[in-house]
Structure 1
Amino acid sequence: MTSRADPLALEVVELIGTVVVRYHEEYEHAAAEHSLTGTQARVLSLLAAEPLPMRRIAQRLKCEPSNVTGIMDRLESRGLVERRPDPNDRRVKLAAPTDEGQRTAEQLSASLNFAREPLGELTVAQRTMLKELLRQMLGFAPE
């Protein structure tokens, strides 16, 4: 176990914090290029991976479902998402991207160069090690 006063651990935490701040700044900028807020872009990215019920979106965003309703309303009014019945439970509505929403989510992802470019300078072995270390830190099962 690492001591809280371990200078190396503190430096790593600072570096991770810097990466997070830069990522959020770039994400906000990329979202603004599409006239979206960062949160709207995040929802669109979540839905591009898989249609989700509103409650699950709220859990992923760590917010109240009522907040998600407003976000969804704005995305829906722009033609980026739609609500459809869940084929497994017709009482539940799934949020899903429209074709335009899927394209927008892909463009957003493609425009996030901040991490991708420096990662490209690492070898495959270094990127693999970094991925495994991050997964371990986050408590994910090894692949």
Structure 2
Amino acid sequence: MTPRADPLTVEVVDLIGTVVSRYYEEYEHAAAEHSLTGAQARVLSLLCVEPLPMRKVAQRLKCEPSNITGIVDRLESRGLVERRPDPADRRVKLAAPTDEGARTADRLRSSLGFAREPLGQLTVAERTLLKELLQRMLGIAPE
């Protein structure tokens, strides 16, 4: 028999779930305003961090590589992403944002008010603590 979580833990988990749900809802809406699906926006945003082979994009987004191929195809047809040889291994193709793709990703990020506005109500110390707690929960070493 599994021990029951204490009420505070249950409440925190519920709040995290609500934040995640609201974030995805706004993300989908912001993506649509840029004529993108949520999945296309996530792929484009990820590629703006660094160009990646599609297999790694699929791993990071936890989905099938064939789905990523279709998403990259559609982004490429819109001039937002391009495929280019990997300088480390020319047999591998990287998906990378075009200049227009990077600008679109920037506009998308700028239009996400849900997270930014409530976070702006926290002090710098509170945001720093929240960041450190989230990193600890995810097993990410603090910067």
Bucket of the pairwise TM-score, normalised by the shorter protein: over 0.9
The within-5 A match list for 1:26-65 is: 26-65=26-65
The within-5 A match list for 1:108-119 is: 108-119=108-119
Aligned to 1:99: 99
The within-5 A match list for 1:1-143 is: 4-143=4-143
DSSP 3-state at the match of 1:51: coil
What is the TM-score when the length of structure 1 is the normalising length?
Answer: 0.96
Q: Which runs of 4+ in 1 moved over 4 A?
A: none
Question: Which amino acid in structure 1 is aligned with residue 112 of structure 2?
Answer: L
Instruction: Give percent identity, aligned residues only.
Output: 82
Unaligned 5+ runs, structure 2 = none
C-alpha deviation, 1:67, in angstroms: 1.0
Cα distance in structure 2, aligned partners of 1:38 and 1:46: 12
Cα distance in structure 1, aligned partners of 2:34 and 2:117: 22
Deviations 1:26-61 (A, max 9, x none): 000000001110000000000111111111001011
Structure 1 residues 131, 4: closer, same or farther in 2, change over 3 A?
farther
RMSD over aligned Cα atoms:
0.9
Unaligned 5+ runs, structure 1 = none
C-alpha deviation, 1:4, in angstroms: 3.6
Question: Which amino acid in structure 1 is aligned with residue 125 of structure 2?
Answer: A
What is the TM-score when the length of structure 2 is the normalising length?
Answer: 0.96
Cα distance in structure 1, aligned partners of 2:97 and 2:5: 46
Question: Which amino acid in structure 2 is aligned with residue 65 of structure 1?
Answer: P
